[in-house]
Amino acid sequence: MDHPRPENEVRRLPYVNIILFFITLATTLFAGALQQGVDPLEDPALIWKGIPFSFTLLLILGAHEFGHYFISKRHGVAVTLPFFLPAPSFIGTFGAFIKMKSPIMDRRTLLDIGVAGPLSGVAVAIPVLIVGLVLSEIIPAAPQKGISLGTSLLFSFFNWIVHGPISDHMDVLLHPVAFSGWIGLLVTSLNLLPVGQLDGGHVAYAIFGRKQQVIARIVMIVLLALGITSWTGWLVWAAFLFFLGTSHPPVVYDWIPLDYRRKWIGWIALFLFVATFTPKPF
């Protein structure tokens, strides 16, 4: 015999998530159109030119967050659907996040949830980047209007695979799809910083336990140094992480160790952090 759900368990449409997604879709379309030299305020009919950037970026962000979501559900951890964050910026978004509503019981669950997002996101970002690099142009190096982007080890590798060695007199003019792939790698590295309750903080705590606090302090010092010498944005990130908290809270059954396979997956995630980290993004 079927029983009706209690009132507090009735599933409702996630209106906030849906509304935020469509607003973020609009802001990323707007940003993508501006990158193509179109002002949607003056010519709204041409906002479709922002589709290559917007759709691929949201695909990467969505893959990242739903990676967390599905693995959390698999482990019985209560989480929200992803919240996409629109922003009046040159990429149109502050990213996305999910909110955990129940505690994580052990390090195995913590690592699985922590790595699921970055691995899912980068699995989409890499093919997006490759396609975008194929569509990009090699142009003579000269003062250009726009933003000069930094590079990571992984970006440099795929750029070399697609274009081969590029002389100092030439440069790559990124296609919007390649730009969204570049952002995907940057987002991966930011999330994998082994600090606090970022994905990297989850991974570091799962592997090293309370020693994660020491690693987080070292990373914070490095960010401050890079903020002074390389890119001032790292100072903002360091301040943001400091106020959120750099130490990871313990899991419920903290004494349960990681198995051998998960330790390897954790180290792969930390290697991915190094490979996607861009010391001077802009």
* Per-residue pLDDT tens digits for 181-220: 999 999 999 999 999 999 999 999 999 999 999 999 999 9
pLDDT at res. 68: 96
What's the number of domains the chain is made of? Answer: 1
Phi, psi (degrees; rounded to nearest 5) at 153? -60, -40
The amino acid at 90: F
- Domain annotation covers residue 262: yes
- Domain annotation covers residue 77: yes
The mean pLDDT of 105-111, rounded to a whole number, is: 95
Residue that is written with structure tokens 């962000």 in the block: 61
Helix (H, G, I), strand (E, B) or coil at 96: strand
Q: Give burial (CB, 10 Å; 0-12/13-18/19+) of 69.
A: buried
Strand partners, 79: 100
- Residues of the domain holding 247: 12-276
Q: What is the pTM of this model?
A: 0.91
- Domain annotation covers residue 236: yes
pLDDT at res. 171: 86
Dist CA 14 CA 99 (whole Å)? 13
- Domain annotation covers residue 251: yes
Dist CA 259 CA 263 (whole Å)? 6
- Domain annotation covers residue 255: yes
- Domain annotation covers residue 3: no
Strand (E) or helix (H) holding 187:
helix 176-191
Strand partners, 86: 93
The mean pLDDT of 93-98, rounded to a whole number, is: 94
